[in-house]
Amino acid sequence: MKPGRRGTGRHARIGAGIALVLAALGGPVGAQTGDPEVLIVGTGDPRGLYVPAGYALAQIVGMTAPDVPALAIEQTGGSIENLVRLRDGEFDLVIATSGRAYQAVNGLPPFDALTAVRDLEAVLSLYPEPLTVIARAEADVTTLDDLWGKRINLGVPGTATRELLDLLLDAQGWAAEQAFTQALELPIADQHIALCSGAVDAVAYISAVPSSTVAVLAEACPVTFVAIEGDVVERILAGAPYLAPTVLPAGAYAGLDRAVPTIGPSALLVTRRGQRAAWTEAILQSLRTRAALAADLHPVLAGFDAAAPLAGAAFLPPHEGVRTALQRPASARTQDAAATGDRDGG
């Protein structure tokens, strides 16, 4: 891979979303205007969170790391497409959920020995993506054990939420047909009505906090949030190193009046081994020193932990530049205060 190539070939195909980022950063756009070097970042569907998180990261890096090429944000179909196109040299960095990154680096389905991304390395963990299990308030469910004998929507097979629920059931020693009086396979779009109408007692999502989908559901009918904790979490982590314990913070949603422990993947920024170390070092350091500003730019980035910037990425080697950055103090509070004047000009 040749990161940071000039605006010919794949970079000449930069779409409107990328052009907007470059324009916001004050740089020329298009080969005909002397296109500067850029790093193309694969994100996701514009209806999701990877795109706005990518834009926020691009803005912070543009303000604080002048030696790093502009981060050019490209919308995609999500993690699998991002990892394939990173492997094929179309992207310089991508955002991917840690579960898909684990599959890619190890050649697990939907990847295989021939399509694996063996040189995948971690740049940073943007935020956790907790498993959020929500029950009708009338169902009297607050713990995993309380779900026994209830009606639940497990979701569509092959989705990230369904895969994690299957892991959870295996670790709990439950078979769905025995544990639940009804186990449906409804798509995410149908969960809201199913729960609030009483067709099911519990549903689940994997999403960063705050999630507009979860927020709408929590406002639509009285709900409780189910704690996932204890020995079952340790059993899951033993076989799924791409997951990590996390919490749903108190007050994030209606009905969430206390912090609720759970587990989930993380949204990672990853690259390949050949990426320039000075750039990945500067990208990580930019976010570590502007963590509060990042949260202001988009609330999902409040989940970035400057003290543990690789949370959820332990299964991946950190990129060379990242290892260098981690030897330096973040000095986040001082830098965030100094950055206040930069915000309007970004």
Asked if 201 and 152 count as a contact pair (C-beta separation under 8 A), the reply is yes
86 with 42: CB under 8 angstroms? yes
Q: What percent of the chain has pLDDT over 90?
A: 82
* pLDDT > 50? residue 31: no
Residue pair 265/273 in contact by the 8 Å Cβ criterion = no
Q: How is residue 8 written in tokens?
A: 């010919």
Q: Is the pLDDT of residue 253 over 80?
A: yes
Domain segments of the chain as ranges: 9-128+266-342, 131-264
Q: How confident is the model at residue 336 (pLDDT cuts 50, 70, 90)?
A: very low
Residue 1: band (very low, low, confident or very high) from pLDDT cuts 50, 70, 90: very low
Q: Is 67 exposed, middle or buried (0-12, 13-18, 19+ CB in 10 A)?
A: exposed
What is the C-alpha to C-alpha distance for residues 102 and 315, in angstroms, rounded to an integer?
A: 7
Least confident among 33-47, 176-190, 241-255: 33-47
Token readout for 243 is: 């997951």
Percent of the chain with pLDDT over 70: 85
Residue with the two structure tokens 């108190």: 250
**Is it the case that residue 150 has pLDDT exceeding 60?**
yes
Kind and range of the H or E element at 321? helix 320-325
Confidence of residue 155 (pLDDT cuts 50, 70, 90): very high
What is the per-residue pLDDT across 174-188, written as a single tens digit (0 to 9) for each? 999 999 999 999 999
- The pair of structure tokens assigned to 219 is 């406002």
For residue 106, pLDDT beyond 90:
yes
Candidates 93, 125, 120, 94; CA nearest to 106 is 120
d(CA 174, CA 309): 34
* pLDDT exceeds cutoff 60 at 30: no
pLDDT of residue 330: 57
Rounded Cα–Cα distance for residues 59 and 294 (Å): 9
CATH code assigned to 131-264: 3.40.190.10
| pLDDT (mean) for 72-80 | 97
Residues in CB range of 30: below 8 A, 6 or more apart? 7, 14, 19
Per CATH, 9-128+266-342 and 131-264 having the same topology is answered: yes
Q: What is the pLDDT of residue 333?
A: 39
Q: What is the mean pLDDT of the chain?
A: 87
Q: 272 — phi, psi (to 5°)?
A: -110, 165
Please state which CATH number belongs to domain 9-128+266-342.
Answer: 3.40.190.10
Average pLDDT over residues 61-86: 96
Q: What number is the average pLDDT over the span 302-319?
A: 95
CB atoms within 10 A of CB 113: 9
- State the pLDDT at residue 140: 95
Least trusted range by pLDDT, from 33-37, 256-260, 267-271 = 33-37
Nearest to 133 by CA among 158, 99, 161, 172: 161
Whole-number Å distance between alpha carbons of 72 and 287: 17
